[in-house]
Structure 1
Amino acid sequence: MKTVRLTLRYDAETIHPMHRFVADSDAFDSYRMIHGNLVGDDDNTFIFYVVGDPDAYAAAMERTEEVGEYDLTRTGDRSFTVYVRDVPEAVDERLLESLTKGSLVVLPPIEYRSDWTIRFSVVGESEDLRRALAGIPEGIEATVDRVGEYDGTDAAVGALTDRQREALRVGRELGYFDVPRTASVEDVAAALDCAPGTAAEHLRKAEATVMDVLEL
């Protein structure tokens, strides 16, 4: 099986109102779909994990016609999950149909980013992947970031929290994982704008999470 890492860029006509709201607001740090299920012809069911202002998010949900019923659960001071039944637009239906045909499986999490893009991976047979890319609706620009053989490592990435992933990314960019090491925990902490002890904890928990998921 092949795996393809995709970035989809939406225009003003195709972006979902909630994605646009979060992207254009300064009140949110992270927005990810962690589970999703196509339940029928009328609506879809998703669970999102969000870091930001839950009250602002709930108010926007109430104003959005595409959102059916939802349930918001706070998981921290600025983090929450949202179970939502969403009424898809035609472009969303075509996109979902394109990405779920045949052998294809979309791997969570799906990252909703402030530049009106989403990033995620899809696993499947080569022909189905080519067909899916050809079927991306007009108004959505698809970029293939990476192609390879599926080896299960996406599961490790999906198990990390946003902050753990950021700590690993920053550590890699600075050289914390180089041999010999060219950056310290203090360097990572400065880039993350947190205390060295906090940065060390993020790195330690991230490394433990990845090791637990990988089958060695």
Structure 2
Amino acid sequence: MSMVYVRFRLDHPIFRETLRQVPEAELQWVRNTPTSTGSRLLFWASVEDGDAFRRAVADDPTVEEVVRTIPVDDRYLCQVELTESGTDTDLYPILLDTASVVRDATVTVDGWDCHFGFADSAAIARFFDTAREQGIDFEIDRVYEPRRSDDFDTGLTAAQREALVTALELGYFEVPRTEGLETLGEKLDISDTAASERIRRGTRSLITNVVLPDIESADELSGQ
């Protein structure tokens, strides 16, 4: 049986207060590391005001300690130690226990946009039953088993999809361009820098998940 993929949004308490303080920030999950006292979380942060973001994370009730914050180009690589309450609501151990995986998890002020691969239907049920028991609201967008012949996944988060569609509707991709990043940011209620970041990340996801596999398939068919 193949892995079952689920796209969904979680109203998770981890980083909720951070994003309320710095609503333009976008966090990209890298990994969780269980420790003897709880859990450490590594993630990328795309944010304009790094100082404001660090203060918000340090004051977040789900974060015990900011272990490190490393600037890399226009992002920050961050690692935090979760508090007891953060660890108690962390759903990652369920994925480990059920041989399931995180394909993508992006955190914005609207919540956690997740794309997970579950080992089977029992793993899905356990994950969402636990979320419900902990009072974590969720909304499932899509459940599917990928088939190379008739299905593919774009890899886009909901925020990236919204940014790309809005940009297309505004004429951002027209030649010459009819609207710029400032207008796009206003439409999405984010800064022009954050809008640019979503467009770039969304475009990268489309190339990685749609264009490259299509080229590889064509090469295989042609015998290259």
Q: Is the 8 A contact 1:42 1:87 kept in 2?
A: no
Is 1:3 equivalent to 2:5 in the alignment?
A: yes
Between the two proteins, what is the percent identity of the paired residues?
Answer: 18
Q: Is the 8 A contact 1:8 1:140 kept in 2?
A: yes
1:192 to 160, 179, 184: 184
Shift of 1:32: 1.8
Q: Is the 8 A contact 1:32 1:50 kept in 2?
A: yes
Amino acid at match of 1:71: R
Is 1:47 equivalent to 2:42 in the alignment?
A: yes
Between Structure 1 and Structure 2, how many residues are aligned? 190
Amino acid at match of 2:17: R
Shift of 1:145: 0.9
Matches within 5 A, 1:56-135: 56-64=52-60, 66-76=63-73, 79-89=75-85, 91-93=88-90, 95-108=91-104, 110-115=105-110, 117-124=111-118, 125-135=120-130
Is 1:21 equivalent to 2:15 in the alignment?
A: no
Amino acid at match of 1:130: A
Amino acid at match of 1:144: I
1:205 and 1:113 mapped to 2: Cα distance? 18
TM-score, scaled relative to structure 2: 0.65
Relative to structure 1, is the Cα distance of residues 76 and 144 closer, same or farther in structure 2, using a 3 angstrom cutoff? same
2:40 and 2:4 mapped to 1: Cα distance? 26
Q: Is the 8 A contact 1:170 1:188 kept in 2?
A: no
Amino acid at match of 2:166: V
2:207 and 2:78 mapped to 1: Cα distance? 27
TM-score, scaled relative to structure 1: 0.67
Relative to structure 1, is the Cα distance of residues 64 and 21 closer, same or farther in structure 2, using a 3 angstrom cutoff? closer
CA distances 1:41-81 after superposition (whole Å, capped 9, x unpaired): 4222222222221111222344446323511112345x322
Relative to structure 1, is the Cα distance of residues 205 and 143 closer, same or farther in structure 2, using a 3 angstrom cutoff? closer
Output the aligned Cα RMSD: 3.7
List runs of 5+ in structure 1 lacking aligned partners. 177-182
Q: Is the 8 A contact 1:155 1:213 kept in 2?
A: no
CA distances 1:182-207 after superposition (whole Å, capped 9, x unpaired): x725256365357xxx89x9599636
Is the helix fraction higher in 1 or 2?
A: 2
Relative to structure 1, is the Cα distance of residues 202 and 57 closer, same or farther in structure 2, using a 3 angstrom cutoff? closer
CA distances 1:123-174 after superposition (whole Å, capped 9, x unpaired): 121221122212213321121111111469668548xxx8x766534356x2
